[in-house]
Amino acid sequence: MSRTSWNVLSALDGRMYLMATLLGVIAVDAEQANHFPNPGFGEFSDGLPTGWTLNSWNQPGTKVAIHRLEPGRDGTGHCLEVQPTTPINVARLFSPPFPVLANQDYLFKGYYASTSRSVTTNSRFIDASAVSLTGHWLDADSAEVGTFKIEMPDTQDRWVEVFQDVRTPETARSLQIEVARRWVGGRLRLDDFSLREGSIRDYIEEFSITEVADEEFFPIYGWLTPGSPSDQYAGMDTDKYNADYAVANFNINLEQTAYAGFGVKYRPLGKLTDEQIIESGKDPRVWWFGGASEPGNKDFPELAAATERIRRLAPSKDYWVVLFPTYADDFHGRPEEYDEHVRLFLETVKPKHFTYDHYCMVGHDPRVHADSWYSPNREGDYFPNLEIVRHRALEADVEFGVIVSVGTFGPNRGVSEAEMRFQAFTTLAYGARSLGWFTYLTEIPYGHWTNWEDHVINRDGTRTRHYAMVKYVNSEVVALAPTLLRLESTGVYHTQPLPPWTRSVTESPLVESVEGGMGLVGEFVAEDGDTYLMVVNRDFIEDATLRLSLRKTPTAVFEVSKQTGAEMVANEYSPDTRVLTLDLAGGDGRLFRLE
């Protein structure tokens, strides 16, 4: 159907549309038809998308600016932009009402990119949800007979899809979409809206993780405290939950007892019989078996028996165990005792892969990080924890992973994107082979803390500001994974001031010096002998321009793209001076191959 013919139909009221449908004038393909008029916002008239209206408080004074922008979210076509104006302004955009069928299941989907100012009170971040989308179901007389609503938190000006399964009321004949930007200044872009018959399950390929070979699979998961999502979040839509999870580039679901779809692997939970373990061991969708969280030394013999059982019945799988961090009660920040704990675990349990959790973003001051909860005046133990685990993992020839923090709980603050990147890229530079985020769901009161806020998903199932952050950081880890997984860590070096237990960059066999800020260099070697550098800006407050002087002159320097995983010539390298000059945002990291 052409856009012209659709625009004519969208002007009809619900009764005429129903008659046309009954007469067979309109043929709907449930797999392809998009009922949303002007979905790419390419057609404009009178300064607005064709048929749309604007309701803006004090428009003569605030002058909300709306225009068609090129390109659209996929780099082609057009999109709609609402430019920043007075922060107190409220702008409401209304689509033209367009016909729908009554008692019909639809999937609404759209894309948006936004920036908004943070709202803070008493040193705590409050998710302002500056943008929302409301669908108004209208009857034949254009009276509202129902609504659905989608909150759209800040995406740091990057495109993010939103979607929801909806069902039309019995008396609905048309739908009108309202997009509201509320009380917070910032830029907003919209593109590729659709309303299609069916549900998320009918279009599951759009919400699924891209499958890769096991040797290129880097486990990324969102941690939950004990209890299933259905127990903690009554009424949460299961398909929406799983689709949101996959769209954010999480590829392991730790809380599933069976495969939920969307390409996400899982770990079986509970006490399994030998037969269940054998069957799960044959399932490529099972990555790990559920193991222990933060065991003590006395628990290691039992874990060793469980690991041996899994290895005997499902030899291609592993038994998943999370160790304490250095600041746990058993160690109180004493690295030597923690080092012995890790050594004894690896010697007794003999895992293929293990992980630990460390939540270093403590307190309200963003300049405080990597500190001990128990000894706030001593030097932080974030990097000593990484040093100990990396050393013991290499010694035992096993892989390790790290679980890091997202939102507010206990003494931990909700992280900025720079702090999120700091946690992800420092662990990658140390050779980590899995990444967990604590937590995915904003928990109900758990443990002795009641201040669970600002995680990835709110208690009502809506997204927080962290959703777009973790989606894009995860996507970059996924892009780097095929390269990282075939590398062996050979050293990690820091600039001054040196964190405890770390080594100076002056000891690096590849890098002579690093100037321009607080840098971290992780060094790797591939089977073919090529050497790699992961360079991280250790400062997550300020951007930095780091200048790395290499000891030898490589034939060429290539960067591994965090968007595609492909190699590209690093133009920042000067062979004349042997200097690699890198602009790095706070906490960010980049991976290079030296030829």
Q: Given its phi and psi angles, is residue 58 left (phi above 0), alpha (psi -120 to 50 degrees) or beta?
A: left
Listed in sequence order, the residues at least 6 apart from 462 whose beta carbon sits closer than 8 Å to its beta carbon are: 129, 150, 151, 153
Three-state SS sequence of 554-579: CCCEEEECCCCCCEEECCCEECCCCE
Query: CA–CA separation, 240 vs 150, rounded Å?
Result: 12
- Residue 96, classified by CB atoms within 10 Å of its CB into exposed (0-12), middle (13-18) or buried (19+), is middle
Residue 373 in tokens: 């909860």
CA–CA separation, 21 vs 150, rounded Å?
Answer: 29
Number of continuous H segments (helices) and E segments (strands) in the chain: 11, 34
Cis before 575? omega within 30: no
- DSSP state letter for 457: B
- Distance (Å, rounded) from C-alpha 217 to C-alpha 485? 8
Strand partners, 491: 523
**In the prediction, which pLDDT does 129 show?**
59
Which tokens in the block code for residue 429?
Answer: 């530079």
Give, in degrees to the nearest 5, the angle at Cα 243 between 432 and 160: 80
Q: 267's torsion region: left (phi>0), alpha (psi -120 to 50) or beta?
A: beta
Quick one: pLDDT at residue 204?
Answer: 96
φ/ψ region of 36 (left if φ > 0, alpha if ψ in -120 to 50, else beta) reads: beta
pLDDT at 116: 74
Whole-angstrom CA distances from 141 to 175, 216, 335, 551 are 12, 56, 72, 77
Dist CA 61 CA 430 (whole Å): 54
CA–CA distance, 453 with 229 (Å, rounded to integer) = 16
- The whole-number pLDDT of residue 60 equals 62
- Mind listing the pLDDT tens digit of every residue in the chain (595 residues)? 333 333 333 333 333 333 333 333 333 344 469 999 999 999 999 889 999 999 886 666 567 789 999 999 999 999 999 987 666 667 899 999 999 999 999 999 999 999 875 444 444 444 455 899 999 999 999 999 999 999 999 999 999 999 999 999 999 999 999 999 876 567 899 999 999 999 999 999 999 999 999 999 999 999 876 555 545 555 567 899 899 999 999 999 987 777 888 999 998 877 899 999 999 999 999 999 988 999 999 999 999 999 999 999 999 999 999 999 998 988 876 889 999 999 999 999 999 999 999 999 987 666 554 443 333 333 478 999 999 999 999 999 999 999 999 999 988 899 999 999 999 999 999 999 999 999 998 877 777 788 889 999 988 889 999 999 999 999 999 999 999 999 999 999 999 999 989 999 999 999 999 999 999 999 999 999 999 999 999 999 999 999 999 999 999 999 999 999 999 999 999 999 999 999 999 999 999 999 9
Identity of the amino acid at 456? V
With beta carbons less than 8 A apart as the criterion, state whether 207 and 200 touch: yes
End-to-end CA distance of the chain: 54
* Residue 20: predicted pLDDT: 33
Domains along the chain with CATH numbers: 3-204 (2.60.120.260), 208-485 (3.20.20.80), 489-594 (2.60.40)
SS3 2: coil
Distance CA 512, CA 226 (A): 47
Is 519 in contact with 495 (CB distance < 8 Å)? yes
Tokens representing residue 451 in the block: 């201040």
- E strands, 153-206, are 160-167, 174-181, 188-197
Q: Answer for the pair 165, 237: CB distance below 8 angstroms, yes or no.
A: yes
* CA nearest neighbour of 433 among 501, 371, 490, 482: 482
φ, ψ of residue 349 in degrees (nearest 5): -85, -35
Distance of CA 472 to the CA centre of its chain: 6
The helix/strand/coil state of 238 is helix
Q: 471: helix, coil or strand? A: helix
Per DSSP (E only), the strands in 204-279 are: 220-223, 252-253, 265-266
- Alpha helix (H) residue ranges in 29-163: 59-62
Handedness of CA 279, 284, 285, 289 (dihedral sign): positive
Residue type, 294: E
State residue 375's pLDDT score: 38
- Residues 551, 552, 556, 561, CA torsion sign: negative
